[in-house]
Chain A
Amino acid sequence: MNAPLLAPVVALVGNPNAGKTSLFNALTGSRQKVGNYPGVTVERKAGRLALPDGRAVELIDLPGTYSLSPRSPDEAVTRDVVMGTAASERRPDAIVAVVDATNLRNHLRFVLELRRLGLPMLVALNMADLAERDGTEIDVAQLATILGMPVVPTVAVRKRGLDTLAAALAPLLLGRTPPPAEGIADITQLQREARAIANAVIVQRGMTKRWTQRLDGIALHPVIGPLLLATLIFIMFQGVFKLAEAPMAWLAEGVTWLQAAATSALPAGAPRSLLVDGVLGGVGAVVVFLPQILILFFFILVLEQSGYMTRAAFLMDRLMARVGLNGRAFIPLISSFACAIPGIMATRTIAEPRDRLTTILIAPLMTCSARLPVYAIVIAAFIPNRSVAGVLGLQGLVLFGLYVVGVLGALLAAFALRHTVTKGPTPTFLMEMPKYQWPEPRDIGIGLYQRAKAFLGRAGSIILISTVALWALATWPKPPAGFAGTSLEYSVAGRIGTALEPVFRPIGFNREIALALVPGMAAREVAVSALATVYSLQGTDKEHTQPLVERLRTSWSLPTALAFLAWYVFAPQCISTLAVTRRETGGWAWPAFMFAYLFAMAYVAAGATYWAAKLL
């Protein structure tokens, strides 16, 4: 027998909510490689598993799916890989079908569909403990006989049954002839066969998931349910903004310290400026948001794994349906309040392409945290710090109003888009609502690590490149000796700003704003430091907030300031958002459209605000 040069590939396949990823994490630990399938934005997760006979196999975790008839790009990957038609992946040498023991009837249908592929296969009867707790007794030997393949009871979260699984896998990879492949069967036929098998092997049927029903009585209660959802979102926001405050300040200080160290260590000149203002400034702008992103991801992972996320989608579906969206769009939109990038990445769970596209297009209208520094400085300069109705601060009220206007704008945009460019049949809402489960710390930890890495990798590289490019535009050409203005005005960026000024004059923007908008494209909060630069204030924006506030107060009129705020509610988002949109939509057409429609909305809103404020 020839020794195989490559380790055999074993694929984990199963329904969503079968505990497939938990099993994968338990089998491979943190030794995972996360990549992407080329051409699609679907994650490829692979890890190594040692068999008792000493061989190692490459284990891949395929996206969860209900059948081999895909509804989303994720599910298409699973089908292509197990059918052997994926260009980038070898056909697996064996399949581990992960089945939820408490939902045997439904999950067996998919096992039967997979069996027809003619690949060596075994069944991991996962969540065996939950079935036992419910009082359900399954005749495992009988099930193995009927299916004609090994069946191993597992409890992924307690690492039970993993050795047995590896031992059962070994003989499958000895090159025996697998059962012949059969054609695609009718789903109803498979469904009935699965029910018959389930009835034959379930010795005793227990009372199932009483806890889930009781919790749903609260979570989906007509009055308590929405209140609970609102409370959870409130806590999540508090967490994202309050808990992240201190670590964000430390990171910002760290970046400032590095910038100062580099400034004193290197001679003045273009290389130093590139390192300090371009690289450190650019990377710093992203890294500072990492605490917020991590806290947000933590909340989202906990809500997802506990099973609550689908309840949130259920509660919000009615509202989302009014503007032609789906309850599932709710989560990506909530994520976008921290940053549109993870929000847009989270739209992958939306199966219907038009639905997903609409959600991506409106995600930037959710006020992301990068807009806060811009809001904060303009509000500090122009909105008097007094209280309204005794308790509410006017400044806070204006800030809240800006968030509300963003949400209303998003709903309006979704409605308009669904009736024009993303017009199509009303999407259906059909979703499994999995049982509630305690989130598993190991799975949360691994998920958090992987998402943080993806965020830093993707957003970081894009922001780094774009800030370095903008730094170059804002640095060259150097002004000649005796030039009256700042060097920014003389640079390419300055000239673009000057050229743009006539465009922005009708909506009340002066030349300085036009200048600041250009670097503000890299990341919104950069607009603040750009304004500081334009008004010839040296140093970091943090130390010079007060002088900048004073300066804005004397150089801007109130209508201009309000117009600037209105602009930033809708403002064409940062370059990184456009780049992520390109990745997720597979071309420049949609990001270009997104830029154009947001620009138009921002222009109209800022103009209307300016002229209305002038008349009053």
Chain B
Amino acid sequence: MRPGDVATIVTIDRDGCDPVTARQLHEMGFDEGVDIELLHRAPFGGDPMALRVGNMVVGLRKALAAMIVVEPARTAAE
């Protein structure tokens, strides 16, 4: 994903991370069927990144973001 892209969460790999982290993702609003937008990537390698989930902006590392499987909804250009 590039900054500005919007995608829909297909599934969250709950087995790929510990249960506490999985729960935290839900507390931040991540869930199947929710739209997310990539807003910013940190300097030096784009890790961590900032995502918009609903009305919230959440910062998280690449490794954790990899647990969230998405399906592109629309790209920044559209």
Total CB contacts across the A-B interface at under 8 A: 114
**Do the beta carbons of A430 and B58 come within 8 Å of each other?**
yes
Smallest beta-carbon distance B10→chain A, Å: 15
**Do the beta carbons of B42 and A430 come within 8 Å of each other?**
no
Complexed CA–CA distance, A222 and B59 (Å): 15
**Do the beta carbons of B20 and A220 come within 8 Å of each other?**
no
**Do the beta carbons of B56 and A432 come within 8 Å of each other?**
yes
Interface residues of A in 225-273 (CB under 8 A from B): 225-226
- Taking CB atoms, residues of chain A closer than 8 Å to B17 are 428
Given the known interface contacts A69-B23, A209-B55, A223-B43, the answer about A188 and B31 at a Cβ–Cβ threshold of 8 Å is yes
Cβ proximity bits B28-47 to A, threshold 8 Å, 1 near / 0 not: 11010010000111111101
What is the chain A residue whose CB lies nearest that of B65? A430
Given the known interface contacts A71-B20, A310-B59, the answer about A317 and B50 at a Cβ–Cβ threshold of 8 Å is no
Complexed CA–CA distance, A195 and B34 (Å): 10
**Do the beta carbons of B21 and A428 come within 8 Å of each other?**
yes
Given the known interface contacts A66-B28, A105-B29, A220-B50, the answer about A315 and B56 at a Cβ–Cβ threshold of 8 Å is no
Smallest beta-carbon distance A37→chain B, Å: 23
Interface residues of A in 297-319 (CB under 8 A from B): 310, 313-315, 317-319
What is the chain A residue whose CB lies nearest that of B47? A318
Asked if A431 is an interface residue, CB under 8 A from chain B, the answer is yes
Asked if A429 is an interface residue, CB under 8 A from chain B, the answer is yes
Given the known interface contacts A191-B29, A315-B43, A430-B24, the answer about A212 and B57 at a Cβ–Cβ threshold of 8 Å is yes
Question: Count the A residues whose beta carbon is within 8 Å of the partner chain — how many?
Answer: 45
**Do the beta carbons of A315 and B24 come within 8 Å of each other?**
no
- Taking CB atoms, residues of chain A closer than 8 Å to B23 are 67, 69, 187
Smallest beta-carbon distance B47→chain A, Å: 6
Smallest beta-carbon distance B72→chain A, Å: 20
Smallest beta-carbon distance A62→chain B, Å: 17
**Do the beta carbons of A433 and B57 come within 8 Å of each other?**
yes
Smallest beta-carbon distance B52→chain A, Å: 8
**Do the beta carbons of B44 and A208 come within 8 Å of each other?**
no
What is the chain B residue whose CB lies nearest that of A431? B59
Cβ proximity bits A310-336 to B, threshold 8 Å, 1 near / 0 not: 100111011101000001000000000
Given the known interface contacts A187-B27, A188-B31, A222-B43, the answer about A103 and B50 at a Cβ–Cβ threshold of 8 Å is no
What is the chain A residue whose CB lies nearest that of B54? A105
**Do the beta carbons of A433 and B58 come within 8 Å of each other?**
yes
Complexed CA–CA distance, A410 and B57 (Å): 31
**Do the beta carbons of B55 and A187 come within 8 Å of each other?**
no
Question: Count the B residues whose beta carbon is within 8 Å of the partner chain — how many?
Answer: 34
Asked if A614 is an interface residue, CB under 8 A from chain B, the answer is no
Complexed CA–CA distance, A188 and B44 (Å): 34
Complexed CA–CA distance, A228 and B26 (Å): 32
Complexed CA–CA distance, A105 and B50 (Å): 19
**Do the beta carbons of B31 and A430 come within 8 Å of each other?**
no
With beta carbons under 8 angstroms apart, the residue of A208, A225, A429 that contacts B43 is: A225
Complexed CA–CA distance, A220 and B42 (Å): 7
Smallest beta-carbon distance A562→chain B, Å: 35
Asked if B2 is an interface residue, CB under 8 A from chain A, the answer is no
**Do the beta carbons of A220 and B40 come within 8 Å of each other?**
yes
Given the known interface contacts A225-B43, A317-B42, A317-B61, the answer about A191 and B55 at a Cβ–Cβ threshold of 8 Å is no
- Taking CB atoms, residues of chain B closer than 8 Å to A577 are none
With beta carbons under 8 angstroms apart, the residue of A103, A225, A321 that contacts B55 is: A103
- Taking CB atoms, residues of chain A closer than 8 Å to B55 are 102-106, 208-209
Interface residues of B in 55-77 (CB under 8 A from A): 55-61, 63-64
Complexed CA–CA distance, A212 and B55 (Å): 11
Cβ proximity bits A427-455 to B, threshold 8 Å, 1 near / 0 not: 01111111100000000000000000000
Asked if A213 is an interface residue, CB under 8 A from chain B, the answer is yes
What is the chain A residue whose CB lies nearest that of B58? A432
Smallest beta-carbon distance A457→chain B, Å: 34
Cβ proximity bits A194-218 to B, threshold 8 Å, 1 near / 0 not: 0100000000000011001100110
Asked if B25 is an interface residue, CB under 8 A from chain A, the answer is yes
- Taking CB atoms, residues of chain B closer than 8 Å to A426 are 63
Given the known interface contacts A71-B24, A226-B43, A428-B21, the answer about A433 and B31 at a Cβ–Cβ threshold of 8 Å is no
9 closest A-B pairs by beta carbon, nearest first, are A66-B27, A220-B40, A222-B43, A433-B57, A314-B59, A106-B29, A103-B55, A187-B26, A430-B60
Chain B contact residues, CB within 8 Å of chain A: 17-18, 20-21, 23-29, 31, 34, 39-45, 47-48, 50, 53-61, 63-64
Task: Beyond the given A318-B45, A431-B58, A432-B56, please list 16 additional residue pairs across the A-B interface where CB-CB is below 8 A.
Answer: A102-B55, A103-B56, A106-B29, A188-B31, A220-B40, A220-B50, A222-B43, A314-B48, A315-B42, A317-B61, A318-B42, A321-B61, A430-B21, A430-B24, A430-B61, A433-B50
